[in-house]
């Protein structure tokens, strides 16, 4: 069957306690597709309550601090997130790289901190439209991955998410060929650093994945799932993506 598909919703700054019914409903969808690993990275305010209603889905966080504790007002350590129920965390999302000025070194440190706290990591990388139009996308994103890669990176706790910045929330996506080329380049970059272990690392696609395009995207050889934004906010929209992942696994079996 190859690498198990990983489908993760990133709720970003969305969701109140009234939306926990959707967490429960998504957990039920996950239970119906046990061959797909399904999770939701929730706002910090919902992690504990979401954990209690997660069903077969895991609960993740959207960010963590690189230090265990300290004078960092408004920040949350990986240990705090783990205690609340998070078993995964997103690091390096473009919205934090761009709006919060997070560097590759920051992201690598956060990823190490998460791993040390027993939390798995989804490390995000991606390019701007200017880089894509300049024909430099694969090199720039591969370099970004290597510069952000934490020490000791291994498939049992690290996944990579490719998110073309210009596709996030816009409804635009790269061509199937462009996604395939990028994911192959990321696999090769990983192999240059961690050798044969790279073949086990799951590389997700993030950037306007939805029920209409998920099957095509997850049919690409090096696409091992998705990091999904708006389409993960309700079970009705998220379920077709999970189902598409399951169908691709079945076809490959």
For residues 162 and 125, the answer to whether their CB atoms sit within 8 Å is yes
Q: What is the pLDDT of residue 250?
A: 63
User: Is the distance from CB of 100 to CB of 62 less than 8 angstroms?
Assistant: no
Residue 1 has pLDDT above 60, yes or no: no
Residue 107 in this model has a pLDDT that exceeds 80: yes
Tokens of 154: 């291994």
Binding positions for substrate are 10-12, 169, 208, 229-230
Give the residues across from 202 on adjacent strands: 159
User: pLDDT at residue 253 above 70?
Assistant: no
Whether pLDDT at 17 is above 60:
yes
Average pLDDT, the chain: 96
Domains and CATH numbers, the chain: 6-252 (3.20.20.70)
Residue ranges of the alpha helices (H) in the chain? Answer: 20-32, 47-52, 78-84, 94-99, 104-116, 129-133, 137-148, 176-194, 214-218, 235-252
Residue-wise pLDDT for 163-219, tens only, equals 999 988 888 889 999 999 999 999 999 999 999 999 999 999 998 999 999 999 999
The pLDDT assigned to 171 comes to 82
User: What's the pLDDT at 173?
Assistant: 83
pLDDT confidence of residue 10: 98
The CA–CA distances, whole Å, from 155 to 7, 41, 114, 139, 201 equal 16, 19, 14, 22, 4
Of the candidates 245, 164, 238, 158, the one whose C-alpha atom is nearest the C-alpha of residue 202 is 158
Q: For the chain, give the percent of residues with pLDDT over 70.
A: 98
Could you list the active site residues?
93, 163
pLDDT at 105 over 90: yes
CA angle 245, 185, 119 (to 5 degrees): 55
**CA–CA separation, 235 and 253 (whole Å):** 26
Q: Are strands 6-10 and 202-206 parallel, antiparallel or unpaired?
A: unpaired
d(CA 171, CA 187): 25
Give the mean model confidence (pLDDT) for residues 95-115.
96
Distances (CA, A) of 153 to 72, 120, 180, 202, 245: 27, 11, 23, 12, 25
Q: Please tell me the distance from the alpha carbon of residue 164 to that of residue 215, in angstroms, as a whole number.
A: 18
Residues 6+ apart with CB under 8 A from 22: 233, 234, 235
């Amino acid at each position: 069957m190859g690498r198990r598909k990983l489908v993760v919703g990133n709720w970003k700054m969305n969701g109140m306690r009234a939306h926990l019914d959707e967490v429960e409903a998504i957990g039920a969808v996950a239970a119906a597709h046990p061959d797909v690993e399904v999770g939701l990275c929730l706002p910090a305010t919902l992690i504990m309550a979401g954990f209690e209603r997660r069903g077969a889905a895991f609960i993740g966080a959207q960010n963590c601090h690189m230090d265990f504790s300290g004078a960092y007002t408004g920040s949350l350590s990986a240990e705090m997130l783990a205690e609340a129920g998070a078993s995964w965390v997103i690091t390096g999302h473009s919205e934090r790289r761009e709006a919060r000025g997070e560097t590759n070194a920051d992201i690598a440190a956060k990823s190490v901190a998460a791993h040390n706290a027993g939390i798995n990591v989804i490390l995000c990388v991606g390019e701007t439209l200017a880089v894509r139009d300049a024909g430099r996308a694969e090199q720039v994103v591969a370099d970004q991955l290597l510069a952000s890669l934490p020490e000791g990176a291994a498939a049992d706790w690290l996944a990579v998410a490719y998110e073309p910045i210009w596709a996030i929330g816009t409804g635009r996506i790269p061509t199937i060929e462009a996604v395939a080329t990028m994911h192959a380049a990321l696999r090769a970059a990983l192999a240059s650093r961690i050798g044969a272990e790279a073949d086990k690392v799951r590389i997700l696609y993030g950037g306007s994945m939805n029920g209409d395009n998920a099957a095509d995207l997850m049919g690409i050889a090096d696409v091992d799932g998705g990091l999904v934004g708006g389409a993960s906010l309700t079970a009705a929209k998220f379920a077709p993506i999970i189902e598409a992942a399951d169908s691709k696994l079945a076809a490959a079996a």
